[in-house]
Structure 1
Amino acid sequence: MKEFLVELTVSVPEGTHQAEVDRRRAAEAVRAKELAAEGHLFRLWRPVGEDRVIGVWRADDEAELREKVLGSLPLQPHPNDPDLTG
């Protein structure tokens, strides 16, 4: 397996209720714990006061990282997200 350093920016749309933010973070934490148990997540940082998450992820290649590892996180898609299908 290869290791990948990935930075994700977390943007919460204005007007989102805190209960929804908490629910999504809890779902992401559950999936992150599963990915760690599977050997795909080595380390995760959420810098205090910042809207980003930095992680060291493990996968056989970039396709597996995108499609099977990061793609399995319960993240909310955003219209400005890059097209990662190609």
Structure 2
Amino acid sequence: MKEFLVELTTTVPKGTDPTEVSQRRSDEAVRAKELASAGHLVRLWRPVGELRSIGVWRADDEADLLEKVLGTLPLWPWMTALVTALESHPNDPGPTGWTA
């Protein structure tokens, strides 16, 4: 699988029932855990004070990432995504064991 850096911004449409928003957010957490277990979601961060996320995701290719991975997120219809394909860097130290 290839790796991608993905920046996701969610914009809830005005007038959306708060119950629907709450349910989708709850479903999103469940789906994220499933995608992590399947090896698609590697890491996920939220910049301090911002309502967007930045993550490392894995998929066979960008089309697969958008359709079969990110496209399965309950909040996907309200998201915009900036996707950057990644490749290994010769100076990458690899996993360091450090966690935040």
Q: Give TM class, smaller chain.
A: 0.7 to 0.9
- State the partner residue of 1:54: 54
Mapped partners of 2:64, 2:25: distance in 1: 23
Specify every segment of 5 or more residues in structure 2 that has no aligned partner in the other structure, as ranges. 82-100
**Match of 1:70, as an amino acid?**
L
Mapped partners of 1:54, 1:44: distance in 2: 6
RCO comparison, higher one (Cα < 8 Å, 6+): 2
Post-superposition offset of 1:24: 1.7
Mapped partners of 1:33, 1:10: distance in 2: 18
1:6 aligns with 2:20: no
Post-superposition offset of 1:77: 2.3
- Following superposition of structure 1 onto structure 2, how do residues 13-32 of structure 1 map, counting pairs within 5 Å? 13-16=13-16, 18-32=18-32
Post-superposition offset of 1:10: 1.4
Is the 2:3–2:56 contact (alpha carbons within 8 Å) kept by the matching residues of 1? yes
**Match of 2:35, as an amino acid?**
L
Is the 2:25–2:75 contact (alpha carbons within 8 Å) kept by the matching residues of 1? no
TM-score normalised by the chain length of structure 2: 0.67
Specify every segment of 5 or more residues in structure 1 that has no aligned partner in the other structure, as ranges. none
**Match of 2:63, as an amino acid?**
A
Count of equivalent residues: 80
Higher Rg = 2
Is the 2:9–2:53 contact (alpha carbons within 8 Å) kept by the matching residues of 1? yes
